Chain A
Amino acid sequence: MKHKYLKNVATLRLSAEKCIGCGKCVEVCPHGVFSMNEKKAKIEDKDRCMECGACAKNCLVKAINVDAGVGCASAVIMGWITGSEPSCDCSSGGECC
């Protein structure tokens, strides 16, 4: 059975003008969000995006934008409490998530 998370929240944006069709985003995306269509990347299903940021980081021409972060409630709570960016970093000695 396919997992589905909240609809219409992912911040993923792709600029078709900037895209050079290298296909790197298709390669790195762990959820098959992108497909190649006439030598351009296309967002197949934005709701599958988990905002890991792999596509944006590996896009040669910065055609992809996404507010990457950890989809983790504990990390967000720790971020709220400590006033820092939510992260999965366990090295700070806090509660590990």
Chain B
Amino acid sequence: MLPQLGAPGVSAHEVTKQTGFSVIYGPVRAKDIKDFLDSGFKVTEEMRTVKFTMWDRLVLTPVELVAAAKSSLMIFGVLFLINLFAARPFGLADFIAYTGAVVTGTVITPLLLPLIPGRAFAWKGWLMGLLWTLGFIWLSGWFVPGFLLLAIGYLLVLPSLSAFLAMNFTGSSTYTSFSGVIKEMKIAVPLIALSSVAGIVLLLIKSLSA
């Protein structure tokens, strides 16, 4: 008796051919094993189907969040060096804007996944990142001529960052396919790269020339 999710790596008829054992695939979740045994190896469609509830998604979010936090330390290091020469040093507001975009991509987007319009993960992350960035810029009062370079820079960088992090959640999801992820990435990765580079250039211009 094998768990059903072992099937992508087990060929039942091949096992029988080589060992004489016959393979019975049980339910997806271990908690259904008792019902499965009691019912004489009957599996309902519900037991056969993989789900992806909000709770399932929540417990997976630390994977990407912790990885992003580690990479962020390097970015903070670079920003510290830039600050030594900057006319407008990066400060708390920038930290909040950045952290918000990371949390949007790694936690908020996965949590709200099926509620966000669209199908591609990068798109969903970008959309949520855009909402966050627009909201933050508006609250910070950066939609004024003096801060326009900064506002546009962040609108190019932060939603792209959220998009990239949300795209990585495809690895945690239970329903994304290889072909689908490749298709999504062929479109998303160049756009994310272009947008980020353009945004970083604007942010540096603003920071160094103020």
A interface residue numbers (CB < 8 A to B): 1-7, 9-11, 24, 27-32, 48-54, 57-58, 60, 67-77, 86, 88, 95, 97
Contacts and interface: CB of A to CB of B under 8 A. Distances in A.
Contacts of A51: 177-179
Interface of B: 4-5, 7-13, 25, 28, 43, 45, 48-50, 52, 67, 113-115, 119-121, 167-168, 170-171, 173-185
B8 A67 contact: no
20 contacts: A5-B176, A6-B183, A11-B179, A24-B12, A27-B48, A32-B49, A51-B178, A51-B179, A52-B8, A53-B8, A57-B11, A60-B13, A67-B178, A68-B178, A69-B178, A71-B175, A71-B177, A73-B184, A74-B168, A76-B181
A54 to B, nearest CB: 4
Contacts of A27: 4, 25, 43, 48
A10 B177 contact: yes
Given A27-B48, A76-B185, A5 B171 contact: no
A71 to B, nearest CB: 4
Contacts of B167: 73
Nearest to A72: B171
A58 B9 CA distance: 9
B175 A9 contact: no
A17 B179 CA distance: 26
A72 B119 contact: no
Given A54-B7, A58-B11, A7 B119 contact: yes
B15 to A, nearest CB: 10
Contacts of A95: 67
A63 B114 CA distance: 33
A4 B168 CA distance: 17
B52 A71 contact: no
Contacts of B175: 3-5, 31, 48, 50, 71
A50 B113 contact: no
B40 to A, nearest CB: 15
A11 B182 CA distance: 12
Contacts of B50: 30-31
A53 B7 CA distance: 8
B13 A50 contact: no
A49 B180 CA distance: 10
Nearest to A75: B171
Nearest to B13: A60
Given A9-B179, A27-B4, A73-B184, 15 more contacts: A3-B173, A5-B180, A9-B180, A9-B183, A10-B180, A24-B12, A27-B48, A32-B48, A49-B177, A50-B177, A58-B13, A69-B178, A71-B178, A71-B180, A88-B171
A71 B177 CA distance: 4
